[in-house]
Structure 1
Amino acid sequence: MADRRLQVFHTVARLLSFTKAAESLHMTQPAVTFQIRQLEEYFNTRLFDRTHNRISLTEAGEKVYAYSERILSLYREMDNEIRTLTGEIIGVLVIGASTTVAEYLLPKLLGEFQALFPKVKLRLKVSNSMGVVHMIENNDIDVGLVESPVSNKSLVVEVCWSDELALIVPVDHELASKDTVHISELAKYPFVSREEGSGTRCVVSDYLDDNGMSMADLDLSLEFG
């Protein structure tokens, strides 16, 4: 119902990239360019300056962007109010999830959600925890599920569940026979870790910090993710 040209413009202006906007909107880049051109023709002025493969908002573009923020926000508010009033839940829900959450927790939950709300179309974007937080900050997704603590105080954060990490070693490893292992003992052995930005990596790093150590104290033989 909201003007598609305004939606496309708002996304391009927010990301300052036709390519990224096309990916976010699931459109081709020529289609995005066409929508922007139509809006510029409607206002009879340029909304973007294009120089050296980069774009920036013109003065008119800045004003349109400010109004588009308010217009699209009001549209979403109106849509939600009417849907709530009529009891109809419909639309698109874009979810971002860290790798572990997406692989092990979401399949069952998304199936149950679809059974309850068949008219809601789900889209899932997978990244590490830091990537999911960035997607939320850039309004690329509606909700994000991550494993690590979120430091951005402007975001609403809810704890959904808790999990535990376990140390894994080969059966013939000398640590395998121990009931407990002190964190300092890990520095003696090659260690396999997730990449920076991963929730698992963040939790391990925080645990090391709490015990007077850091990732630099470990012998990182393999980093993956």
Structure 2
Amino acid sequence: MTTRQDYSRSISFQHLESLVALADTGSFSRAAQRLHLSQPSLTRHIQNLEELVGTPLVVRQREGGILTAEGRLLCDFARRIIRLREEAWEKLTDSRDGGRGRIQVAASTIPATYILPRVISSWHRLNPGVTVHIQTHDSDETLQAVLHDQAEIGLIGKNTVHRGIVSVPLWSDRIVLVVPPDHPWAGEKELLPARLVEASFIGRERGSATRATLEAYLRAETGLDTSSIHVLCEVGSSEAVKEAILAGAGPAFLSIHAVRREVEAGRLCIVRVGNWNIERSFHLIYKKNFRFKPHHILFMDYLKAFRPDGDADQTQSSTTSPS
């Protein structure tokens, strides 16, 4: 007689990895490419897994598939199982190689693009045996990556209140209005907020903390109706926004970290809007009760000591418990 335990023993890592890859990509072909499999092989793994668990896991569509409720449930466990395998391998590697390790970091676009490269450069000089893997998402996706064990540490552009997450403020940021040097507003010492309705803006996508910070400030501090500001288009990165500004598509509100280099080079101009002061903090996030290893704690301490304005404390932090 075949038991449930017999079926569960037949589920392989290839089955689980195939399900996770399909969930992440939404496409059988892209999932197969990620796992370096042929598409028929990946399809067969999904079908075998469905037979083993006795329920449909994927709703097939013309361009791919989406997970059923049971598929999402199993996928969450699959991510954890895969992560446990990686942790086991890391512990064996650490035990064998000493001083080596890997850190999985998910970060929203501003810290990932404009801050973390400098962090990693100086960190690596002190800790050459520790490899840092960086995933770039928007802030909402970064939170989900940490919650679902796709990353051990997250960096986002807003505070988050979640019972399973610790959120620690790290670095300050300022959202500024940016235009090209030949824009009529470039010569203004101070732009009246009412004049914002004159232009069509380039905006960040929903899920972006830059956008959320701007909208929250407008609602709470100015009384300005966000619907009165015309958005010409929404794009998924600050680099794309800058290119649109330089091409003359319109002004935009961006992080000071994203535009500092272009402003210093004279390619973009910051326009002061009334007495507006749109500030926020980047936050370090991680799961409560996560079992950090010493190199994780060192890295988090290093992040806390780093100063994106160039006044970084470049000394290696001592090992402490995450606060």
TM category, shorter: 0.5 to 0.7
Tell me, in whole angstroms, the C-alpha distance in 2 between the residues paired with 1:150 and 1:104: 22
Aligned match of 2:131 in 102, 109, 121? 121
Structure 1 residues 8 and 118, CA gap change in structure 2 (3 angstroms): farther
1:58-87 deviations in whole A, cap 9, x for unaligned? 8xx97xx8799599769949976x95x999
Which residue pairs with 1:198 in the alignment?
208
Aligned match of 2:188 in 171, 177, 193? 177
Displacement, 1:153?
A: 3.8
Question: Could you list the runs of 5+ residues in structure 1 that have no partner in the other structure?
Answer: none
Which residue pairs with 2:234 in the alignment?
223
Displacement, 1:108?
A: 1.4
| Paired positions, count | 210
Q: Which moved more, 1:8-17 or 1:95-104?
A: 8-17
Which residue pairs with 2:35 in the alignment?
27
1:60-119 deviations in whole A, cap 9, x for unaligned? x97xx8799599769949976x95x99934333222122222221111111222233323
Structure 1 residues 17 and 98, CA gap change in structure 2 (3 angstroms): closer
Matched, 1:147 2:134: no
Given that residues 79 and 148 in structure 2 are in contact (C-alpha distance below 8 angstroms), is that contact kept between their aligned partners in structure 1? no
Q: Which moved more, 1:115-124 or 1:45-54?
A: 45-54
The residue matched to 1:201 in structure 2 has which SS? helix
Structure 1 residues 116 and 196, CA gap change in structure 2 (3 angstroms): same
Which residue pairs with 1:163 in the alignment?
173
1:138-191 deviations in whole A, cap 9, x for unaligned? 222222212233243421111110011221234452473223x45443233222
Given that residues 96 and 126 in structure 1 are in contact (C-alpha distance below 8 angstroms), is that contact kept between their aligned partners in structure 2? yes
Structure 1 residues 201 and 48, CA gap change in structure 2 (3 angstroms): farther
Structure 1 residues 17 and 167, CA gap change in structure 2 (3 angstroms): closer
Q: How does 1:36-75 map to 2 (within 5 A)?
A: 46-47=52-53, 49-50=55-56, 52-53=59-60
TM-score (norm 2): 0.49
Given that residues 47 and 57 in structure 1 are in contact (C-alpha distance below 8 angstroms), is that contact kept between their aligned partners in structure 2? no
1:46-69 deviations in whole A, cap 9, x for unaligned? 2464465366698xx97xx87995
The residue matched to 1:220 in structure 2 has which SS? strand
Question: Could you list the runs of 5+ residues in structure 2 that have no partner in the other structure?
Answer: 1-10, 237-323
Structure 1 residues 149 and 15, CA gap change in structure 2 (3 angstroms): farther
Structure 1 residues 18 and 131, CA gap change in structure 2 (3 angstroms): closer
**Matched residue type, 1:46:** L
**Matched residue type, 2:160:** V
Aligned match of 1:110 in 97, 120, 123? 120
Given that residues 49 and 56 in structure 1 are in contact (C-alpha distance below 8 angstroms), is that contact kept between their aligned partners in structure 2? no
Which residue pairs with 1:97 in the alignment?
107
Matched, 1:137 2:143: no
Superposition RMSD in Å: 4.5
Structure 1 residues 224 and 77, CA gap change in structure 2 (3 angstroms): same
Given that residues 142 and 154 in structure 2 are in contact (C-alpha distance below 8 angstroms), is that contact kept between their aligned partners in structure 1? yes
1:113-139 deviations in whole A, cap 9, x for unaligned? 223332333322112222222222322
Structure with greater proportional strand content: 2
**Matched residue type, 2:177:** L
**Matched residue type, 2:187:** A
The residue matched to 2:171 in structure 1 has which SS? coil
TM-score (norm 1): 0.66
